Amino acid sequence: MDKLQVVGGKRLEGEIVISGAKNAALPILCAGLLTSGDLELSNVPRLHDVKTILKLLAQTGLAVSQDDEKLTLNGSAITTLEAPYELVKTMRASILVLGPLLARFGEAKVSLPGGCAIGSRPVDQHIKGLQALGAEITIEGGYIYAKCKKLKGARIRTDMITVTGTENLLMAATLADGETILENAAREPEVTDLANLLVAMGAKIEGIGTDRLVIQGVAELHGAKHAVISDRIEAATFLCAVAATGGDILLKNTRTDYFDVALDKLREIGLVMTMGPASIRAQMGGRPKPVSFRTTEYPGFPTDMQAQFMAVDTIASGSSRITETIFENRFMHVQEMNRLGASIQTEGNTAHVKGVDRLVGAPVMATDLRASASLVIAAMAAQGTTIIDRIYHLDRGYDRMEVKLSAVGADIVRIK
């Protein structure tokens, strides 16, 4: 099992190219099941999760041709309408094949998903929405069995805001008879990116970017070309890294219009940023200032950045308060940060962070995807050497993070 060795205390200087967004790429790849035409995609990140979803799609019969960050999918010869446990157990996003398979072929068998152990992520909203569209669904032996000769449009209001639920129902509704209205829909930029792709494929969708999506079903979708949006979480993670270590970096292939809340908090920390058309220059000279925040659904503060900001707060010049409202188990990195000398106490869904003068390297263990990124940031800010175990979590969502950080001055190596 690979580990990362990080020697802290190095300033970051140079350029980093931001990869395509994991959370946009996964549903977009699943959209390849909706058409028999070619789906030509670019800016697809090289991640373990992408490899997993491609393996899952290939076993259905979807043809996959890959050239680095460019992919061509063709769904003209799909023969298997099943997502088996062996491929689904490691990644909850696998549930995103359910809607497309059901909508296009009238049936699907999908294993209940797994993924990071950061809290319960029930699929009941997916199931209730598909049932509203006319699907007959049973759960047996750990599998979701769905059937419906032809989905029919309906008004659906989810009980909670769910990103993958919105994406699954959106894809299914594109091929349903009549009009579907999705209310309380997730507004994340990754949902918008999927919707824009579906429109390019011939779908009729109104309200893109809002919490009310209106879809007029069409008989079929066709192929399209699409570039996956850049990863706002990767960009914000590297900005947290320079805030914690000091330095001057230029992020390329990024946008500033879809993570305003995180950027505002980085300014509070003391990070000086200069925005370009597709770039951010970030400069940090002194000790970070503490920032408090509360995670909420988009456009609020993203739960996927909670751990990385906490890493910066551990060495800030004061105390901060962090409240997690999305996932109940998303403080598992606290214990590992305290091993590095941080002063963090948790009380329910709130963490109280008292900034310390210094962190000191130690062996730590990654517990989930974003926690692993936060430990890299803390290790880079610490004195001495830190060994981070179980970094397969990191590889699920960050495209060669250690390579990108090494190129801008970090002392970080992968140990096989």
Torsions phi, psi of 306, nearest 5? -60, -50
The contacts of residue 153 (CB under 8 Å, 6+ apart) are: 133, 173, 176, 177, 178, 179, 180, 215, 217
Amino acid identity at 109? K
Tell me how far apart the alpha carbons of residues 271 and 276 are, in angstroms, rounded to a whole number: 16
Size (the chain), residues: 416
The contacts of residue 62 (CB under 8 Å, 6+ apart) are: 32, 33, 73, 74, 75, 78
Burial annotation 253-277 (CB, 10 A radius, 16+ → b, else e): bbbbebbebbbebbeebbbebeeee
The angle, 0 to 180 degrees and rounded to 10, between the axes of the packed helices 98-105 and 163-173 is 10
Tell me how far apart the alpha carbons of residues 322 and 142 are, in angstroms, rounded to a whole number: 36
Tell me how far apart the alpha carbons of residues 378 and 356 are, in angstroms, rounded to a whole number: 12
134 sits in the region (left: phi over 0; alpha: psi -120 to 50; else beta) called: left
H or E stretch at 242: helix 232-245
- Do 235 and 18 contact (CB within 8 A), yes or no? yes
SS3 (DSSP) at 162: coil
- Do 12 and 249 contact (CB within 8 A), yes or no? yes
* Candidate list 30, 116, 148, 240, residue with the active-site label: 116
Torsions phi, psi of 264, nearest 5? -60, -40
Each as own residue / partner, the long-range contacts of residues 154-157 (CB below 8 Å, 24 or more positions apart, any chain) are: 154/180, 154/181, 155/180, 155/181, 155/183, 156/128, 156/129, 156/132, 156/180, 156/181, 156/182, 156/183, 157/183, 157/184
Is 116 known to be catalytic?
A: yes
| Beta strand extents in 254-384 (DSSP E only) | 272-275, 279-284, 293-294, 319-323, 343-347, 350-354, 363-365
The contacts of residue 122 (CB under 8 Å, 6+ apart) are: none
Q: Which residues are catalytic?
A: 116
